[in-house]
């Protein structure tokens, strides 16, 4: 009997399903089902009826939508069904080969069914491993929470620029521990900036050396003595800065909680990339969560394109010009890799030599860091795909290896 290919296009509230046989004959046009258990049960009943007449094996295909496809995907797995999850790039390439001017959800479901027919070995996509999905959702939650802390800092900068001109020049991070301590000490409802150098030095010494604390306290004292605060702005600004500090500290605690959970999940996976200097459990969690199964990428070029670390290209006639990175992939992956470049440049001989070589060529620090981020991603991809721990290749000079040791 023939194999039935079920293409499914999933949206937020429902999904469309179309069924084709191996000869691309339509057995069921795009039907709509609710994305709840009764809707999924109804869908399975329709497929079972077709199965009795047209085929003894069914393969289901759907596009990865981030989160919307997961309930139906899990439902099918629990039922013991064979499911193929396509990434968007796979289906985009197939779509471009089809002669269709417009596409509806029904047509999208048929297109996925047709993609299944062309698959040589359609099967469950290992990149949808539930443990990796858990890691992905946690690291994405962490990224969203980190963005909230950044927003708190932006708002805090605005408030301090209003009530204390020059304060934001003293602290690179407006909501670092030493800055928060000074704000709590000097900005109160009943008194504003009533302090002295000695007292501020004592406050700052908990976070800085005595000499640095005194130097910073003197700068702050000059700023506080010369600041002019509009009286009508005081109440709202004082209230806002303290509220922002509370929000920031609460979110930081929540991030710590997420990171503890994420680290435990990464430890269970025990990825090879943890052997790469510069990649810790959190960075590894982001890479694992976004790349998932490395075998779904055929080359390092695909991986860098997926991450948006490949250069954008502008073509006009015979002219071809490469610009800045495309930034079309997950922003959390790029952010994690970029942050990891600093420890990688310090502790990873491969990245250190690569960075120095770029700097010698006149590349800006930020440009060199982006290149190192791409290098770090390719190293992580390589060790995971080849299932071996990181080692320093022979082309890296002894100078950099001795620095690391």
- pLDDT tens digits, 219-269: 999 999 998 888 888 899 999 999 999 999 999 999 999 999 999 999 999
- The reported pLDDT for the residue numbered 319 is 53
- Please report the domains of the chain, with CATH numbers, ordered by start residue: 2-128 (3.30.420.40), 137-259 (no CATH), 272-404 (no CATH)
Strand partners, 84: 61
Indicate if the pLDDT at residue 70 is higher than 80.
yes
Indicate if the pLDDT at residue 403 is higher than 60.
no
- pLDDT tens digits, 146-165: 999 999 999 999 999 999 99
How far is it, in rounded angstroms, from Cα 17 to Cα 6? Answer: 7
Q: Which residue has the tokens 């976004």?
A: 290
Indicate if the pLDDT at residue 377 is higher than 90.
yes
How far is it, in rounded angstroms, from Cα 135 to Cα 263? Answer: 9
- pTM of the shown model: 0.77
Cβ-proximal residues to 201 (8 Å cutoff; 6+ apart), any chain: 210, 213, 214, 217
SS3 (DSSP) at 142:
helix
């Amino acid at each position: 009997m023939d194999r039935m290919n079920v293409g499914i296009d999933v949206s937020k509230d429902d999904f469309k399903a179309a069924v084709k046989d191996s000869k691309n004959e339509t057995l069921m046009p795009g039907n709509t089902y609710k994305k709840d258990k009764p809707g999924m049960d109804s869908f399975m009943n329709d497929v079972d009826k077709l199965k009795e007449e047209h085929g003894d094996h069914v393969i289901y295909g759907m596009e990865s939508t981030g989160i919307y496809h997961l309930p139906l995907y899990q439902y099918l797995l629990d039922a013991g069904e064979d499911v193929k999850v396509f990434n968007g790039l796979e289906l985009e390439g197939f779509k471009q080969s089809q002669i269709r001017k417009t596409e509806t959800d029904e047509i999208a479901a048929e297109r996925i069914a047709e993609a299944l027919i062309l698959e040589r070995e359609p099967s469950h996509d290992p990149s949808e491993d539930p443990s990796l999905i858990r890691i992905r959702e946690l690291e994405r939650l962490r990224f969203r929470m980190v963005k909230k802390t950044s927003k708190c800092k932006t708002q805090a900068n605005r408030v301090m620029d209003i009530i204390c001109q020059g304060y934001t020049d003293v602290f690179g991070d407006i909501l670092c521990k030493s800055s928060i301590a000074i704000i709590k000490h000097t900005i109160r409802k009943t008194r504003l900036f009533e302090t002295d150098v000695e007292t501020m030095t004592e406050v700052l010494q908990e976070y800085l050396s005595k000499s640095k604390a005194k130097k910073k306290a003197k700068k702050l004292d000059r700023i506080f003595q010369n600041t002019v605060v509009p009286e009508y702005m005081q109440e709202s600004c004082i209230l806002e800065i303290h509220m922002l500090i509370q929000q920031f500290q609460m979110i930081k605690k929540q991030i710590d909680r997420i990171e503890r959970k994420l680290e435990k999940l990464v430890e269970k996976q025990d990825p090879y990339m943890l052997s790469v200097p510069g990649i810790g459990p959190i960075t590894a969690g982001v890479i694992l969560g976004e790349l998932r199964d490395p075998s779904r990428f055929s080359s390092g070029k695909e991986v860098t394109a997926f991450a948006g670390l490949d250069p954008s290209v502008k073509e006009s006639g015979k002219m071809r010009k490469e610009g800045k990175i495309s930034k079309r992939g997950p922003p959390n992956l790029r952010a994690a890799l970029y942050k990891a470049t600093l420890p990688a440049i310090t502790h990873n001989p491969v990245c250190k030599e690569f960075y120095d070589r770029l700097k010698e060529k006149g590349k800006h620090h930020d440009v060199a860091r982006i290149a190192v981020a791409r290098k770090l991603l390719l190293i992580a991809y390589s060790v995971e795909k080849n299932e071996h721990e990181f080692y320093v290749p022979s082309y890296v000079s002894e100078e950099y290896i001795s620095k690391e040791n």
